[in-house]
Amino acid sequence: MTAALQRTEFVVRTIAETIVANEKYFGDLDSVVGDGDFGYSLARGFEKVLEQWDTLDRTDAGVFLQKVATTISSRMGGTSGPIWGTAFLRAGAASKGKAELARSDVVEMLRAAITGIKARGGADLGEKTLLDALVPMTDTLADLFEQGTQTQEALDAAAARARESAEATSTLQARRGRASYTGERSIGSPDPGALAIAVLAEEIANRWQDGSAPAAS
């Protein structure tokens, strides 16, 4: 198994396990102004990934991510399926055929996922969606990688930026999804998708620190 595939597996496994473990928390967040199915939808999709873990195509990291995308899209309901499926599909396309993943490749994968989410969901920054955490997190990671910052330090900083940005969505009015129907009532609570990004970034950083991740290049 290549180092690129090994690291990709680590990240996807962390995401899947964290989402399943936080099903109720994410659902409770969504029930404030949404329909409460966010946690359920995410968990069902990533449960399927864990169920099929050993049979997913591992030709390379990109193919693996595209199979993950297909798997979660087949099970995840609501608006989450197309959005999260597209994110993994685009990230997979950006890394397909690569035996190694440089730091610039990781940033490119995240940028590709962001572009896909924007296109599929019709959303942009400031509209109270997961993009309001994912974009600042990616920008932080890109800046620190370019500066030559150690991987652990960069992951910690990116996670902190994701958390700060997610909590700041409390001041925004929802413009997309079910929460947008509530108008100004959506102001005052953070976006569940943005908070999910923060939780995932924190868990990836924490597990990396624990030595659960393969050594980074």
Compute mean pLDDT per 10 residues along the chain, 217 residues long, and list them: 88 97 91 76 95 95 96 87 94 92 95 96 88 98 97 97 95 60 58 95 90 49
Which pLDDT score is estimated for 212?
A: 57
Which pLDDT score is estimated for 126?
A: 87
Contacts of 169 (CB under 8 A, 6+ apart): 128, 132, 133, 190, 191, 194
Q: How far apart are CA 73 and CA 66, in angstroms?
A: 11
CA angle 128, 129, 135 (to 5 degrees): 105
pTM of the model: 0.90
| 123: nearest Cα among 169, 162, 177 | 177
Which pLDDT score is estimated for 194?
A: 95
CA angle 144, 119, 137 (to 5 degrees): 20
Task: Domain ranges for the chain, please list them.
Answer: 3-209
Written out in words, the top-level CATH class of the domain with range 3-209 is: mainly alpha
Which pLDDT score is estimated for 190?
A: 86
Which pLDDT score is estimated for 24?
A: 93
